[in-house]
Structure 1
C-alpha cells in the first residue's frame, strides 16, 4: 500500500541517513559488536549529521523539528541495513524529551548543545536490582545538605542503557521517605556528571542482542550533586516519567515495525537466491505462503504505526493508543522475524546474516518500555475492564 506519512523533507533525510550508514557504519559494524559499543567519536559524527538534535530548538544547536517522523526514518534505515546506532534511541528519543520538558533555561543552555552535537551523551537510571519496573520501591536516596547547595546521592542501578559511556546520567532517586498515602511521591531526578567523585560503572552486562548498545550497572557512593542539577521540581519524578511513556512506546513500535519489514525484505531476497533440491527456495509453496502471511501482517502493522505517527505529531496520541501500537508491533515483529529466520535455514542462525541480528535485537522490545503484559493491562483499562 502507498504510504503517505512522510513528505519530501523526510525522504531527503532518508537519503542522507542511508548514505551515512553505507559509508560510516556498515564497514565497521562488526567491530562495534565485538567492542560492545561504537567508538565515542561516532556519536559526534552522528551529531554533526544532525540526527541527535532534530528535536532540539535551533537556539540550543538543534534543528527545531517537533515531528518524531525523522526518528522513524532512522529506525527504518538502520533496520534495512541490519545495523544500529548504539545508544542513539535512548539518548535522543527517551532522555532528550525529559530535558526539553523539565530543564530550566540555564540547564538547557548548559546541556542541550552538547546533547545535539554528541559531545554530551546521556543515560537515564531508573531500574534497581530487585525492583524491576516498580519505581515506587526505588531505594537510591539523595539527602539535601544543611546549607541547601547539594544532594548526597547513594545507591545502585542496573540495566542502564548507555551507562558505560554516558557523560550525564539522569538518576531517579528518593529525596523524601515513602508515605502510606502516596508510594509514588518523594521521587526526584538528579542529573549526575559521570566525572563526579563516588560515581562508578560496575559490570557491563552481556546481552543476547543489541550488541552495540552498552548496558551497565552503576554505583553512587556519597556523590555530591549540586542543586542546580535537579531536573524540574523535587518529588515530581514519577509524574515526569509517566509524561513521556506514550512517545517512548511509539518509538519502540515503529522500531519493531522497521525490523519486521526489514526481515521480510531479507528473507524474500534470500529465498530467491538459495536453492534446495535443484530449485530456488522461493519456488516452494510453503515459502510463498509463509512470506505472504508475513507481508500481510507487516502491512497491517505499518498502517497502525503510521497512523500512530500522525496522531503523535498532532498531539493526539493517547497512552492506550501507544500501548496498542507497542503491543501489536513487538508481537508481530517477533512472529515475522522468527518465520523469516526459519526460511534462511542454518544460515539464519549465523550472525553475519542480518536476519540473525534482527532476531536477537528485537526480542527485548516485548520487555523494555513496559512488557507486553503491561500493555494489555493498559488497553484493558481503556475498555473499562
Structure 2
C-alpha cells in the first residue's frame, strides 16, 4: 500500500513472501491490464489471451492444495484478488469463477478420478470451467431451483435453465447444480454435450470486460460418474460460494484503492481558481474519508484471511467482509467519480468503470440484503429470510 492511504502501515502485517506475491500481480496488472482495460470494457471483450498468463502466475485455483494446484494461502489469494480487481472486477471474477467455484467444487466434492482428470488442466489454463447455480427465477433462493436431474439407468438426464453464469460460452466444463429425487446434487457437464447450450447476456452496463451467460439444458445425458459424489444438498454449492465471497472481500478494496489513487493524483494536478483541487478543504475531507474506509476494509480482509488460514473462519464473518467492503468500495468509487467532474464519465479514468462493475459484485455471491439477514440471524438467533 502506498503512503497516501496506508495510514496504519498495514503492509507491516504481511510477510515478505506475501508482499512479493502482491507486487508480482500488481506488476502484471500494470503491464497487461491497465493499458487495454478501457478498450476491453468499451468493446465488451474478455481477453481470453490472458488465461494462460494467469495460469503461469499460479493464480488459477491458487489456494487449492495438490492436483497440480499452487497450494498458496488464503491471504496470498486475497492479495492477488486485490490487485486483479484494481485492474478490473471482470478479471478478478474470471479467477474466482475458475478457481473458487469450478475448481473449488471439484476439489471439495469430487472423486479422486474427477480431481486428477480436471484440476491439473484447469490450473494450467487448458480447461476453463463455469458454475451453474443461479436460475432466471432462483437467485437469492437457490433452494427453489427448477433444473432437475433424473435417473436414467445408471446415468442421469438434466433439464433446466441457468442465468448469469460466468464464462459459460468459453468453458469446456460446467458445474451444474440440479434438484434430484434425493435433493440438490452437483454434476460435471462437458459443455459440448448434446442438449447443452450457452449464450452471452448483453448488452450490459457493468462487468463489460467479462462474460455472463444463459445456459439451457435440454435433456442432457450424463454418465453415472458425472455426479460430484461428496456434495449433497445446498451445503455443496454454498461451500463454494463461501470461497468466492472471500475473494470479493479483498477484490472490492482493490477497485476502491485504484479509484482513490486516481482521484488523489487528479486533485493534485487539476487547477481550479488558481490552486489544485487537493488544496480545498472539501476535497481533503473526501480523500480522508476514502482512505479511512480503505484502511478499515484492508484490516478486515487481513483478519478474515488469517482466520481462514488458521481454520477458524466462521460463515457469518464472510458476510461481515462481503457486506462492508462492497458497500464501502462502491461509495468510494462514486465519490471519486464526482471529484473528477465531467472527466469522470469517460473511460480515461477508472472510478465510474469500477463503480459500475461493483453494482454486479455487490449483487452476486449474496446481495447486501442476504448478508444483512445472515448477520441478523447470527446476532438474534432468528432467521428472517421469509
Q: TM-score, normalised by structure 1?
A: 0.91
Residue number among 76, 83, 86 corresponding to 1:77 in the alignment:
83
* In structure 1, distance between residues paired with 2:20 and 2:129: 28
Aligned to 1:216: 213
Ranked by relative contact order (alpha carbons within 8 Å, sequence separation 6 or more), the top structure is 2
Contact persistence 2:133–2:177 (CA under 8 A)? yes
Aligned to 1:298: 294
Whether 1:9 aligns to 2:5 is no
Aligned to 2:150: 143
Question: What value does the CA root-mean-square deviation take over the aligned residues?
Answer: 1.9
Contact persistence 2:89–2:357 (CA under 8 A)? no
Deviations 1:228-285 (A, max 9, x none): 1111247x14121222443332222211122222222111111001111222111111
Residue number among 216, 222, 225 corresponding to 2:222 in the alignment:
225
Q: 1:353 to 1:13 in 2, by over 3 A?
A: same
Q: 1:22 to 1:102 in 2, by over 3 A?
A: same
* In structure 2, distance between residues paired with 1:275 and 1:191: 57
Contact persistence 1:247–1:322 (CA under 8 A)? no
Contact persistence 2:337–2:344 (CA under 8 A)? yes
Q: 1:81 to 1:203 in 2, by over 3 A?
A: closer
* In structure 2, distance between residues paired with 1:2 and 1:22: 23
Contact persistence 1:246–1:323 (CA under 8 A)? no
Q: 1:302 to 1:231 in 2, by over 3 A?
A: same
Between 261-270 and 111-120, report the one with greater CA deviation.
Answer: 261-270
* In structure 2, distance between residues paired with 1:83 and 1:383: 31
Aligned to 1:26: 34
For the residue of structure 2 that corresponds to 1:87, the secondary structure is: helix
1:203 deviates by: 4.1
Whether 1:252 aligns to 2:269 is no
- Aligned length, in residue pairs: 372
For the residue of structure 2 that corresponds to 1:209, the secondary structure is: coil
Aligned to 2:177: 172
Structure 2 unaligned regions, length at least 5: 1-7
* In structure 1, distance between residues paired with 2:264 and 2:311: 37
Residue number among 366, 374, 385 corresponding to 1:378 in the alignment:
374
Aligned to 1:95: 102
Structure 1 unaligned regions, length at least 5: 177-184
Contact persistence 2:253–2:325 (CA under 8 A)? yes
* In structure 2, distance between residues paired with 1:22 and 1:261: 14
Q: TM-score, normalised by structure 2?
A: 0.90
1:34 deviates by: 4.6
Aligned to 1:119: 126
For the residue of structure 1 that corresponds to 2:376, the secondary structure is: helix
Deviations 1:110-154 (A, max 9, x none): 0001110111111111111122222121111122212x1x21111
Q: 1:256 to 1:168 in 2, by over 3 A?
A: same
Whether 1:50 aligns to 2:50 is no
Contact persistence 2:333–2:354 (CA under 8 A)? yes
Aligned to 1:356: 352
Deviations 1:29-49 (A, max 9, x none): 344335534343321221122
